[in-house]
Amino acid sequence: MTPHENEFAESFLQGRVLFVDKPLHWTSFDAVNKIKSLLRYRQGIKKIRVGHAGTLDPLATGLLIICTGKATKQIDTYQGMDKTYTGVFVIGQTTPSSDLETTPGEAKPVGHITPGDLEKAAQALTGPQQQTPPLYSAKKINGERAYHHARQGLQTQMKPRDVRVESFEITRVNLPEVHFRITCSKGTYIRSLARDFGDILQTGAYLGALRRTHIGEFSVDNAWKMDDLSEAIIQGNL
């Protein structure tokens, strides 16, 4: 290993914070494991801690903060920051998972829904509130992820928790699609907001698309594409 390679590897052990644009269909752990694998097998770092600061669902894209080495001690700080998302709620239908992991049910009419109705629903979901996590979530129940219970068809009682929606802006409407921008606190499930949005409208709703654009002051505009980051780690040029 050359002096440059030693220095590059050591920088990851001392701690690097990587801003990644998570691809669609990847889990957050897929991204973590990809980076850990590259550091191990391409850079020869046999033992290194790598973790992410806030899960993104496989059907979501956008900003994921990944910390290595001693920087993993900063994960809680990043996790505590507000997050901003853009996406689409589809009203008039529901799914068991509140997104497209499961199949939408029968559609209800939505032509009677007015822009005023949508704004009132958004306002009702703005501010401090108690939110029930979705059944299909990574939240642990008796040591097991809730989605394991849901996929087995088991009935599970999810406990509400305190969250805060700082802002809920409807950016475009093309019924049944409602486009939004939401800034919210740690622990807020956008799929739960979709479910609750549909409940308020009495039409049902599910999350059709989601992208995390910001974590605190950090923007996905400045994040690495996974392929580019992988190549940079392989080349030792990061």
- The catalytically annotated residue of 57, 162, 221, 228 is 57
Beta strands in 147-190 (DSSP E): 161-174, 177-184
222 Cβ contact partners less than 8 Å away, ≥ 6 residues apart: 19
Answer yes or no: are the C-beta atoms of 97 and 136 closer than 8 Å: yes
Beta-bridge mates of residue 224: 20
Beta-bridge mates of residue 165: 127, 184
Query: Which amino acid does the sequence have at 78?
Result: Y
Answer yes or no: are the C-beta atoms of 92 and 109 closer than 8 Å: yes
Answer yes or no: are the C-beta atoms of 103 and 222 closer than 8 Å: no
Residue 57 designated active-site: yes
Answer yes or no: are the C-beta atoms of 39 and 12 closer than 8 Å: yes
Rounded to whole angstroms, the Cα distance separating 33 from 18 reads 14
Rounded to whole angstroms, the Cα distance separating 203 from 121 reads 12
E strand or H helix that includes residue 192: helix 190-201
Q: Active-site positions?
A: 57
